[in-house]
């Protein structure tokens, strides 16, 4: 009974104050990351004049190496293998009626399933809607006993027991639904820059991936996964490679990105036709969960012309509307008007810029028109008021005549009498 009372109190506090006690379970273990986050660049990286290669935002400095130990590194690596096996080797099980997928080409390294998964796995949804820590706990529990990782369980202190590839699910379709749902949420948490998904230090994101059941011995080679400690190092590299589709590179090489040159010259690189072929994931611009599910990714290319911006929707450079983005600097009283490649500050319609005072003033003609309109409005109101007064006096005189007997009541129409009485009783 005491436990029930405590639970009710906790739920009440969560409801009233928005606290999430379940996400505070490992808060002490994650204190180290607060310092890391304070040093992280929040500004968008410019591709111009940059000789280093990265398609995600990077963290400066050399003090974020092995000294910082992520308490969930082991769990994340198992989850990473479990979901990367789906991303690079799995096919759409909704349209595959056999367990064998040897005649189909995987494609989830390019995008999430199309059409989107309409019925998401409830075990994942229930955990991940509570926050990233319960989400990681749920997916790790499943991945750690999955048939997909049966060959490599021994590497993590588990017995190498062989299961069906879809274990612990009833069939491969349920496994597919589970991993798609998990990928949705883990990619979203990565884009939300949750500290726990940062993996500082020297990493090999795809170590043992070839041992997964789906890989069948095939390897994924991506030079970005061999992360070294440097000023250009992105601590979220592994998370992006494990959980998110790559809208930039590896599209024509089945997810393999062996070198920077090969990545830039990928024939399906969306920025390949431009002078600078670097493609950059739109950091902070993919936070809408439903847009991620629908593959509406924001990524950018380096447009040569000033004031132009890459449009993922149209796949070419378009004029950037500085006014809409509120990226302009106009004096007080002036408004922004977009131009091709830039913007200009002008006065509103009906105003002009006084060169002496540098202030926007109303045109004289407009002043005169406004004054005439105001005068006309006043006149119309006066006329209406006189009409109302005249009508009231008429009805009042009529009532007085009726009362004095000067006017027989049967000579007054019923609607007129009703109107008179209404006015009288006001």
At 255-297, the pLDDT tens digits run 999 988 999 999 999 998 888 898 888 767 788 999 999 999 8
Percentage of residues in the chain having pLDDT higher than 90: 31
Strand partners for 309: 318
Q: Cα(353)–Cα(331) distance, rounded to whole angstroms? A: 11
Helix axes 172-191, 73-89, angle to 10 degrees: 120
Q: Is the pLDDT of residue 160 over 90?
A: no
At 169-208, the pLDDT tens digits run 999 999 999 999 999 999 999 999 888 888 866 678 999 9
Q: Classify domain 321-362 by CATH architecture.
A: Ribbon (2.10)
Q: Cα(70)–Cα(76) distance, rounded to whole angstroms? A: 10
Asked if the bond preceding 234 is cis, omega within 30° of 0, the reply is no
Per-residue pLDDT at 132: 94
At 55-104, the pLDDT tens digits run 775 544 334 444 356 778 889 999 999 999 999 999 999 887 666 656 67
Per-residue tokens: 358:
């540098």
Sign of CA dihedral 106, 108, 111, 113: positive
User: Which of residues 350 and 173 earns the better pLDDT score?
Assistant: 173
Per-residue pLDDT at 28: 43
Terminal-residue alpha carbon distance, the chain: 67
Strand partners for 354: 359
CA distances from 315 to 245, 299, 324 (A): 17, 10, 20
Rg from Cα positions in the chain: 34
Arithmetic mean of pLDDT over the chain: 77
Per-residue pLDDT at 395: 62
Closest C-alpha among 83, 67, 247, 104 to residue 181: 83
Per-residue tokens: 419:
């109107």
Continuous H helices in 122-252: 122-128, 132-143, 172-191, 237-243
Q: Phi then psi for 212, rounded to 5 degrees?
A: -70, 155
Strand partners for 339: 342
Q: Is the pLDDT of residue 398 over 50?
A: yes
In 2-100, where do the E strands start and end?
none
Question: In which band, very low, low, confident or very high, does the pLDDT at 122 lie, cut at 50, 70 and 90?
Answer: very high
Q: What is the largest distance, in Å, between two alpha-carbon atoms of the chain?
A: 115
**SS3 (DSSP) at 222:** strand
Instruction: Give the residue extent of every domain in the chain.
Output: 31-317, 321-362, 369-424
Per-residue pLDDT at 9: 56
Q: How far is CA 64 from the centre of its chain?
A: 28
**Quick one: CA torsion of 198, 203, 207, 212, rounded to 10 degrees?**
0
Q: Is the pLDDT of residue 16 over 90?
A: no
């Amino acid at each position: 009974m005491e436990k029930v009372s405590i639970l009710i109190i906790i739920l009440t506090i969560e409801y009233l104050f928005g606290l999430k006690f379940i996400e505070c379970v490992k808060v002490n273990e994650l204190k180290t990351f607060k310092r890391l986050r304070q040093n992280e660049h929040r500004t968008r990286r410019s591709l111009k004049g940059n000789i280093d290669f990265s398609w995600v935002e990077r963290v400066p400095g050399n003090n974020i190496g092995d000294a910082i130990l992520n308490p969930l590194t082991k769990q994340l690596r198992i989850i990473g293998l479990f979901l990367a096996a789906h991303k690079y080797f799995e096919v759409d099980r909704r349209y595959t009626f056999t367990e064998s997928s040897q005649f189909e080409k995987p494609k989830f390294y390019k995008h999430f399933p199309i059409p989107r998964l309409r019925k998401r796995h409830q075990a994942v949804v229930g955990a991940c809607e509570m926050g990233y820590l319960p989400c990681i706990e749920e997916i790790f529990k499943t991945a750690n006993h999955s048939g997909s990782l049966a060959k490599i369980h021994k590497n993590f202190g588990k017995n190498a027991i062989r299961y069906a590839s879809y274990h612990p699910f009833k069939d491969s379709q349920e496994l597919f639904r589970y991993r798609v749902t998990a990928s949705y949420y883990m990619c979203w948490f990565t884009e939300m820059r949750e500290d726990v998904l940062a993996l500082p230090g020297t990493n090999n994101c795809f170590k043992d991936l070839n041992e997964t059941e789906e890989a069948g011995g095939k390897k994924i080679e991506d030079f970005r996964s061999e992360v070294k400690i440097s000023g250009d190092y992105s601590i979220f590299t592994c998370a992006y490679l494990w959980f998110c589709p790559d809208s930039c590179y590896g599209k024509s090489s089945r997810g393999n990105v062996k070198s920077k040159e090969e990545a830039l010259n990928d024939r399906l690189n969306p920025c390949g036709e431009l002078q600078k072929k670097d493609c950059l994931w739109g950091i902070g611009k993919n936070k809408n969960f439903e847009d991620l599910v629908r593959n509406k990714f924001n990524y950018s290319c380096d447009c040569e012309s000033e004031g132009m911006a890459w449009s993922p929707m149209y796949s070419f450079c378009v004029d950037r509307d500085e006014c809409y983005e509120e990226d302009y600097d106009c004096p007080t009283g002036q408004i922004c008007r977009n131009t091709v490649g830039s913007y200009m500050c002008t006065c509103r319609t009906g105003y002009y810029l006084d060169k002496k005072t540098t202030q926007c003033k109303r045109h004289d003609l407009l002043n005169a028109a406004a004054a005439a309109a105001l005068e006309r409005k006043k006149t119309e109101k006066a006329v209406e008021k006189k009409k109302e007064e005249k009508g009231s006096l008429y009805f009042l005189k009529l009532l007085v005549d009726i009362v004095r007997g000067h006017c027989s009541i049967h000579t007054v129409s019923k609607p007129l009498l009703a109107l008179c009485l209404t006015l009288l009783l006001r």
